[in-house]
């Protein structure tokens, strides 16, 4: 499989300092309005946070009526609701849109919102395929709009501090990186009848036409038609940090093995291991949704002078040679909140600076996971040429 690395590497050279996008009409105190496209659990969480930070939700588009009702209760009175997101984009007075749809709808929603002249906050992973990433980068660069991808670690102070530790050479030469995500949540998918009305055709969009299976809506992340599974969903977060900290673009190659251990009915693995090859590092990305040991995500950077473990609580660094029960030489306790990332987007809508996670960064982050999924499907090592 041949993928043109230049598409994904060129973005890094676009800006070494904040990029100005065409001037905004907003004043410093103007309240930004937004429309929510996709009001499932993640969309409603984002919407609550946007409102807490001073933005105003004025419209929402959603294909499942129970989600509409839950989102309506958390939104200002008089909010307008739509079953078709294209109708939302025709409503006057919407400054920005928040896209929190299934992955296969990201590109068409992004294109429609750009055509409507909106700035965009879009959930990760950016794309449903490598080819889509290329098209999305080109469309955003041509548009001149502010587009932030929802990879909140890019705006987390603790993660930025951890990167500086590595930049300062504390770990020395890093040859091995081990991202992992453990969470004991795997169980058979629920295929019982959905309560409430669902516009199944609208959910499918351009995906393969098929009869309604409720589990495909409830657990869309676990089906190839709609998403890349946890390889791209969680992997986008972790592989972005790996590449950011080690100053790499996408990997040279990937291999992957996985299995559906307990999530019966799913197409994507709930236990997997992938190995990515970079010029100076090997990266092992493992996920186990059948076990909660060291629950959550973490990334271990192993250098010849020290080791760092970064996770949701902060980071710790141990000097080499490591000794049992040794105390860390550096420790920073801090969570990874989403508020700074959304605030960065809202600030950029007004300032027209480039946000912390533009689309080319998100495309680089998901490139390796897309490659690993191809390796899994083909049953062999796949190169990124």
Number of domains in the chain: 2
Cα 233 from Cα 96, distance rounded (Å):
24
Provide mean pLDDT across the span 60-71.
98
Cα 202 from Cα 68, distance rounded (Å):
14
Instruction: Read off the pLDDT of residues 14-31 as tens digits, 9 standing for 90 and up.
Output: 333 345 566 666 655 689
Cα 62 from Cα 80, distance rounded (Å):
11
- Which of these, 1, 24, 203, lies nearest to 96 by C-alpha position? 24
Same domain, 322 and 351: no
Same domain, 106 and 167: no
Same domain, 114 and 167: no
- Which of these, 20, 25, 89, lies nearest to 61 by C-alpha position? 89
Q: Is the pLDDT score of 5 beyond 70? A: no
Same domain, 147 and 78: yes
Q: Is the pLDDT score of 362 beyond 60? A: yes
Instruction: Read off the pLDDT of residues 176-186 as tens digits, 9 standing for 90 and up.
Output: 999 999 999 99
Q: How confident is the model at residue 117 (pLDDT cuts 50, 70, 90)?
A: very high
| Residue 3 lies inside a defined structural domain of this protein | no
Instruction: Read off the pLDDT of residues 223-270 as tens digits, 9 standing for 90 and up.
Output: 999 999 999 999 999 999 999 999 999 999 999 999 999 999 999 999
| Residue 104 lies inside a defined structural domain of this protein | yes
φ/ψ of residue 147, rounded to 5: -130, 120
Same domain, 182 and 52: no
Q: How many CA atoms lie within 13 A of 248 on its CB side?
A: 25
Cα 86 from Cα 63, distance rounded (Å):
12
Q: Is the pLDDT score of 4 beyond 90? A: no
- Domain boundaries, position 274: 156-336+370-383
Same domain, 150 and 164: no
Instruction: Read off the pLDDT of residues 285-307 as tens digits, 9 standing for 90 and up.
Output: 999 999 999 999 999 999 999 99
Same domain, 56 and 165: no
Tell me how many degrees the CA angle 158-160-166 measures, rounded to the nearest 5.
105
Provide mean pLDDT across the span 33-49.
98
Same domain, 317 and 191: yes
Task: Tell me what pLDDT residue 309 has.
Answer: 98
Cα 362 from Cα 237, distance rounded (Å):
9
Whether 213 contacts 330, CB under 8 Å: no
Instruction: Read off the pLDDT of residues 309-342 as tens digits, 9 standing for 90 and up.
Output: 999 999 999 999 999 999 999 999 988 999 999 9
Task: Tell me what pLDDT residue 7 has.
Answer: 47
Write down the mean pLDDT value for the chain. 93
Same domain, 347 and 311: no
Task: Tell me what pLDDT residue 23 has.
Answer: 61
Same domain, 172 and 113: no
Q: Is the pLDDT score of 6 beyond 60? A: no
Q: How many residues does the chain have?
A: 385
């Amino acid at each position: 499989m041949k993928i043109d690395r230049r598409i994904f590497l060129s973005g890094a050279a676009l800006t070494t300092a904040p990029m100005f996008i065409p001037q905004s009409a907003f004043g410093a105190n103007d309240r930004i309005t937004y429309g929510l496209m996709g009001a499932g659990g993640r969309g409603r969480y984002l919407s609550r946070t946007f409102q807490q930070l001073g933005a105003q939700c004025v419209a929402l588009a959603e294909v499942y009526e129970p989600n509409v009702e839950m989102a309506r209760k958390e939104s200002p009175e008089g909010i307008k609701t739509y079953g078709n997101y294209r109708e939302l984009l025709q409503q006057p007075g919407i400054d920005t849109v928040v896209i929190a749809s299934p992955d296969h709808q990201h590109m068409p929603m992004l294109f429609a919102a750009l055509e409507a002249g909106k700035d965009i906050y879009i959930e990760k992973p950016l794309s449903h395929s490598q080819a889509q990433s290329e098209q999305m980068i080109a469309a955003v660069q041509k548009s001149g709009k502010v587009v932030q991808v929802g990879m909140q670690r890019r705006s987390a102070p603790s993660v930025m501090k951890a990167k500086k530790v590595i930049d300062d050479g504390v770990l020395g030469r890093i040859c091995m990186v081990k991202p992992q995500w453990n969470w004991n949540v795997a169980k058979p998918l629920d295929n019982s009848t959905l309560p409430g009305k669902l516009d199944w055709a609208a959910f499918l969009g351009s995906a393969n036409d098929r009869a309604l299976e409720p589990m495909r809506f409830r657990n869309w992340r676990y089906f190839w038609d709609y998403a890349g599974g946890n390889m791209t969903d969680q992997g986008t977060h972790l592989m972005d940090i790996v590449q950011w900290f080690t100053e790499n673009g996408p990997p040279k190659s990937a291999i992957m093995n996985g299995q559906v251990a307990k999530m019966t009915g799913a197409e994507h693995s709930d236990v997997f291991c992938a190995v990515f090859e970079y010029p100076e590092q090997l990266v092992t990305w493992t996920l186990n949704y059948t076990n909660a040991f060291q629950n959550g995500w973490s990334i271990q950077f192993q250098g010849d002078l020290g080791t760092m473990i970064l996770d949701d609580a902060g980071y710790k660094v141990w000097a080499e040679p490591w000794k049992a029960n040794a105390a860390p030489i550096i420790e920073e306790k801090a969570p990874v909140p989403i508020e700074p990332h959304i605030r960065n987007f809202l600030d950029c809508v007004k300032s027209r600076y480039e946000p912390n996670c533009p689309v080319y960064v998100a495309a680089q982050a998901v490139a390796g996971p897309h490659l690993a999924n191809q390796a899994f499907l083909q049953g062999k090592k796949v190169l990124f040429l």
